Structure 1
């Protein structure tokens, strides 16, 4: 699509303005040394015109620069006459090198425009994909709720996991690098528990598309358990999550305090615990849990890069 007429005029006017500025510099240099190369100050103007406005304005800049250069040659004929064919050589070299600069500048501009258009297209596709994923998640959650009407607790658990995956995918698609930080994932998962005593601390750790959804599932299960039986189930409870990254391993320390007193560790293994172990093993990591009277503690170690 062609740009509006006003933008075209402005582009040509700006390119010619670059040439006039270059001519002023050339005039100033001539006051110092009249033998300075005639077209020396025009090259930056040609390149800037082509990069910023394209081939047409670049060619217009070459034409105006040539005219101003020829005028300068007439004024400096006294010393140019000493060199046979100096005018022709200067003009030919300028036209050749100027044409190359304009070609390079316009090619660079075109490639940048194509790259920008491709980035905008990808961003649009990602937004559309994210919108469709959200709709699909809503539909699936509705199907789960309808199918498991007799077992609302299981339905809520499944829908919670689906919601966790969607939230993480949303974080990934918002990032230009398609990564989500551990802090962002925790903030998203802990959003329903604003008002509880929660401490998060650790360095910025970007997580890629392979590990982020899996880690979000693990954290979701830990948070769900804390909300049902642990620190997030009482107003006095406190949750501390600390993490550190090194040697390509991410270590997350999970510590709960102030929840219901724990007499003994749970004897049965629920689906959530099995899910945590299965996802952790699939990532090539380990998780160690310990139940103390003050609350549950866990250490999760997974490769993150």
Structure 2
């Protein structure tokens, strides 16, 4: 029984042609039902000869294809001419109705076959696209794996070269780890980018979730912009941990963002931290803050207030 249901389903969906035996039995059953229906209608309208066979032709073409539909149309027409449920005989009018019946069946069979062809082509296209997508994901995973290995190798080489210079190594090590964490975050979303909240939670989480507050709507960042902002957030978070809000027991951080006309505005506001008195010359971190968003027609402004660091960032969000 399951095999018969599968044959019917596959034929209806255009996946495969049913067997000759199944098609023959199915058509014979439908013709028998149509003839019974015609017998019932004959009690009201004895001149209805071909109308009950239209559904049979349609179903036969939909299940078995054009050839089965044509055979069914011929058989239905023959039954309409030869089988009588009253004393009438086949005349010229009935043969004219037969030609009309075959003409309409021909259009119906052509339409059903055209639809089956389109569905089959769409199914093949979908199958091909799924295979290409699986192959692309495999390549992306392989590239991500190689990138992670390269990052680990660079990390190990730099550590070996700079092991006698802990201050330089400390600054490089933290930035490499921040980039690696951002790459992992982006990779989890198939390389398209990441949400700004997820990025901030990843960067600020180690300092304690009660130490910061994020204020803004969900915002998906393209990959390149996400990497640049990740570096900026890392520099600001590192500074907050060493000298700012996170270095004080009562220090708090609020990060707010909004989007206006495809431009992103971010505010980094630290409070209750140590008072900032002396600001030294611009180092690598400050230069990074000032230049990281230039590629996105953006800028970063940082002010050292008595309440803590106040930083604003503006940039264009890429359309893609």
CA distance in 1, matches of 2:181, 2:204: 12
Equivalent residue, structure 2, for 1:124: 138
Equivalent residue, structure 2, for 1:14: 9
Aligned residues: 284
Equivalent residue, structure 2, for 1:280: 293
Structure 1 residue 35: Cα displacement: 3.1
CA distance in 2, matches of 1:35, 1:17: 22
Structure 1 residue 9: Cα displacement: 8.3
Equivalent residue, structure 2, for 1:197: 211
Q: Please state whether the residue corresponding to 1:236 is helix, strand or coil.
A: coil
Question: Does residue 102 in structure 1 map to residue 116 in structure 2?
Answer: yes
Equivalent residue, structure 2, for 1:227: 241
Equivalent residue, structure 1, for 2:312: 299
Post-superposition Cα deviations, 1:108-149, rounded to whole Å, max 9, x if no partner, equal 110011111111111121122212211111111111111110
Q: Please state whether the residue corresponding to 2:292 is helix, strand or coil.
A: helix
Match of 1:158 among 148, 172, 192: 172
- Say if 2:293 and 2:300, in contact at 8 Å, map to a contact too: yes
Q: Which runs of 5+ in 1 are unaligned?
A: 1-6, 47-57
Structure 1 residue 244: Cα displacement: 0.5
Equivalent residue, structure 2, for 1:244: 258
CA distance in 2, matches of 1:8, 1:296: 73
- Say if 2:244 and 2:308, in contact at 8 Å, map to a contact too: yes
Structure 1 residue 166: Cα displacement: 2.7
Structure 1 residue 277: Cα displacement: 0.9
CA distance in 2, matches of 1:85, 1:177: 62
Structure 1 residue 162: Cα displacement: 2.1
Structure 1 residue 39: Cα displacement: 4.8
> Superposition RMSD on alpha carbons, in Å?
3.5
Match of 2:195 among 161, 181, 202: 181
CA distance in 2, matches of 1:119, 1:44: 36
TM-score under structure 1 length normalisation:
0.78
Q: Bigger radius of gyration, 1 or 2?
A: 2
Equivalent residue, structure 2, for 1:38: 54
Equivalent residue, structure 2, for 1:55: none
Pick which of 293-302 and 32-41 moved more. Answer: 32-41
Post-superposition Cα deviations, 1:25-65, rounded to whole Å, max 9, x if no partner, equal x969988997378159837983xxxxxxxxxxx6x354555
Structure 1 residue 12: Cα displacement: 3.0
Gap change, CA 1:82 and 1:44, over 3 Å in 2: closer
TM-score under structure 2 length normalisation:
0.75
Match of 1:137 among 148, 151, 158: 151
CA distance in 2, matches of 1:276, 1:284: 14
Post-superposition Cα deviations, 1:188-246, rounded to whole Å, max 9, x if no partner, equal 21232234411011112222133121111111111111111111223322111000111
Gap change, CA 1:147 and 1:131, over 3 Å in 2: same
Structure 1 residue 279: Cα displacement: 1.2
Structure 1 residue 259: Cα displacement: 2.1
Gap change, CA 1:82 and 1:177, over 3 Å in 2: farther
